[in-house]
Amino acid sequence: MTKTKAKPKKKKPSRLTKALLETAKDMHRIGVLDDAAYSRIAKRHAATSAFLPPL
C-alpha cells in the first residue's frame, strides 16, 4: 500500500492581507514607501496571497 502525499492547498488571501497589500501599493505609488520596503512587504505576503500587486 503506497501512501501519497497530499498537495498543500493554496491559502486564500484574507481580507487583511488584501488590504495590507493594497495599502502598501498605494503608499509606494505616492512615494511614502521606497522600492525596497514595498518589495519586502509584497514578498512576505506573496506565499499566502494570489493577489500580488505589481511593482
Look at the block and give the residue holding cell 497530499: 6
Q: Rounded to 5 degrees, what angle do the CA atoms 31, 14, 36 make? A: 25
What's this model's pTM, rounded to 2 decimal places?
0.62
pLDDT at 2: 64
pLDDT for res 45 = 79
Digit-coded pLDDT (tens) for 4-55: 676 666 667 789 988 999 999 999 999 999 999 999 988 887 765 555 555 5
6-43 burial, b at 16+ Cβ within 10 Å, e below that, comes to eeeeeeebeeebeebbeebbeebeeeebeeeebeebbe
**Residue-level pLDDT at 44:** 85
